[in-house]
């Protein structure tokens, strides 16, 4: 019985952790987003005055329902806290307490507060409460969104490069602020009378925001302004480049780990040595499909082949159907024969596939001949089987 509870707890923890790709976890995430979206719209609208009475009466009900869902989620997260790797060496009550005191736990708890304010009638159109809940709920979304974790990793990985660009930013900022202060102070005493005042103009110009509330009037001031504007574009371009490259690198690393996880479930990859496997891992992509999803259609051109790491697919051929289970592969014939797809293939259950695109397939073929040989052998067998079955089909 205790074991049963523990599996249910581990399962719930996985579903809530955002790293699970099972249909249940995906449905939960979609539902969570819909509920959050509805809650945000309701909270934002509750700050608008003069809405029709019916909307005014409906909004608190929506906020109450959303808070109810968040309360249930908070309780579930509290219950599953002992499954969190960070608290592995703590007793279940201690793990729950530790989780409740983390930023995630505290925000999770605060996100439930709107329910109380609504039931006590304290949420009003002109109160700040609506705005605060809006922020809290959006924060809640950010806490669990994988992109936030990625951003944190990217900033940490690229901190040295980002810091050097920031130093350039600060140098230009202070130099421009000081120069315009000297050049403009006699003409615009109020706006450039001190270095901090001139810095406001420098920040607005360097970030390319350009409110236009402070404008240099002397020739010297305008020349400094031109340099600051061009520097601003360069600094922003550098920042964008660093972050974009960092993001794509991080995503590539994550994809590598996701693929590696799935590759171990395909026996034909396990037979290759670690070095060879690591070579092919970089070329595979993980795709999760729900039940009855058509992955390839007969007659369409084929640009990839698939390995089944989890689940099962049905190959629908003109003379009947065949099932392919975990470890199997399909879509190789179009790549080898350069012909359209010979069958339609659909999933019969939630399925995870590893996709190998044509360009990578031909590269793998030249590097790992043993793998492609077994793929070719099976393709020959399939072709012969299909031809034999076609010959036997009535009317042919």
Minimum distance, C-beta of residue 322 to ligand CMP, in the bound complex (Å): 4
- For ligand CMP, the nearest residue by Cβ is 334
d(CA 82, CA 290): 30
- For ligand CMP, which is the closer residue by CB, 320 or 395? 320
Beta carbons within 8 Å of 200's beta carbon, 6+ residues apart: 214
**Dihedral of the CA atoms 357, 359, 365, 368 (nearest 10)?**
-70
- For ligand CMP, which is the closer residue by CB, 173 or 356? 356
- For ligand CMP, which is the closer residue by CB, 134 or 334? 334
What percent of the residues of the chain are helix, what percent strand, and what percent coil, each to the nearest 5? 65, 10, 25
Minimum distance, C-beta of residue 392 to ligand CMP, in the bound complex (Å): 13
Beta carbons within 8 Å of 139's beta carbon, 6+ residues apart: 107
- For ligand CMP, which is the closer residue by CB, 15 or 343? 343
- For ligand CMP, which is the closer residue by CB, 6 or 387? 387
- For ligand CMP, which is the closer residue by CB, 22 or 386? 386
- For ligand CMP, which is the closer residue by CB, 125 or 358? 358
Tokens encoding 89: 């060496």
d(CA 31, CA 26): 9
DSSP string, 265-315: T-HHHHTS-HHHHHHHHTTEEEEEE-TT-EEE-TTS---EEEEEEESEEEE
- For ligand CMP, which is the closer residue by CB, 25 or 322? 322
Minimum distance, C-beta of residue 332 to ligand CMP, in the bound complex (Å): 5
Minimum distance, C-beta of residue 372 to ligand CMP, in the bound complex (Å): 14
Minimum distance, C-beta of residue 333 to ligand CMP, in the bound complex (Å): 3
Minimum distance, C-beta of residue 334 to ligand CMP, in the bound complex (Å): 3
d(CA 345, CA 297): 6
Distance between first and last Cα of the chain? 60
Half-sphere exposure of 46 (CA within 13 A, CB side): 29
Phi/psi at 15 (5° precision): -60, -40
Q: Which residues bind ligand CMP (CB under 6 A)?
A: 296, 302, 315, 317, 322, 330-334, 341-343, 345, 382, 385-386
Minimum distance, C-beta of residue 58 to ligand CMP, in the bound complex (Å): 51
Name the residue with tokens 């590097």: 367
Minimum distance, C-beta of residue 364 to ligand CMP, in the bound complex (Å): 16
Reduced 3-state DSSP string for 196-219? HHHHHHHHHHHCCCCCCCCCCCCH
């Amino acid at each position: 019985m205790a074991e049963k509870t523990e599996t249910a707890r581990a399962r719930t923890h996985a579903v809530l952790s955002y790293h699970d790709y099972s249909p249940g976890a995906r449905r939960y995430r979609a539902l969570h987003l819909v509920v959050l979206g509805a809650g945000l719209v309701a909270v934002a609208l509750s700050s608008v005055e003069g809405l029709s009475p019916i909307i005014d009466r409906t909004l608190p009900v929506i906020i109450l329902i959303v808070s109810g869902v968040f309360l249930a989620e908070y309780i579930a997260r509290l219950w599953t806290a002992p499954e969190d790797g960070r608290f592995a060496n703590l007793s279940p009550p201690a793990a729950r307490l530790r989780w409740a005191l983390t930023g995630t736990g505290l925000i999770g708890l605060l996100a439930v507060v709107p329910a109380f304010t609504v039931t006590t009638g304290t949420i009003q159109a002109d109160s700040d409460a609506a705005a605060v809940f809006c922020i809290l709920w959006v924060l809640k979304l950010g806490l669990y969104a994988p992109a936030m974790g990625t951003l944190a990793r990217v900033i940490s990985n690229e901190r040295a490069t980002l810091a050097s660009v920031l130093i350039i930013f600060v140098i230009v900022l202070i130099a421009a602020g000081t120069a315009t202060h000297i050049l403009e102070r006699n003409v615009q005493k109020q706006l450039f009378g001190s270095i901090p005042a001139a810095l406001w103009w420098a920040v607005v110009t360097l970030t390319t925001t350009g409110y236009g509330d402070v404008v240099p009037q002397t020739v010297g001031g305008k020349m400094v302004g031109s340099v600051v504007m061009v520097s601003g574009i360069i600094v922003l371009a550098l920042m964008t480049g660093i972050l974009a490259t960092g993001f794509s690198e991080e995503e590539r690393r994550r994809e590598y780990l996701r693929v590696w996880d799935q590759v171990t479930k395909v026996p034909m990859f396990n037979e290759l040595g670690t070095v060879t496997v690591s070579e092919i891992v970089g070329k595979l992509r993980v795709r999760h499909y729900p039940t009855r999803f058509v992955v390839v259609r007969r007659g369409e051109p084929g640009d990839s082949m698939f390995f089944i790491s989890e689940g099962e697919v049905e190959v629908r051929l003109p003379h009947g159907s065949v099932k392919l289970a975990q470890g199997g592969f399909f879509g190789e014939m179009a790549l080898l024969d350069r012909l359209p797809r010979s069958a339609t293939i659909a999933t019969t259950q939630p399925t995870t596939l590893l996709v190998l695109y044509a360009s990578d397939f031909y590269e793998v073929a030249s590097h790992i001949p043993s793998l492609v040989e077994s793929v070719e052998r099976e393709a020959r067998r399939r072709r012969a089987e299909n031809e034999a079955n076609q010959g036997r089909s009535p009317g042919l």
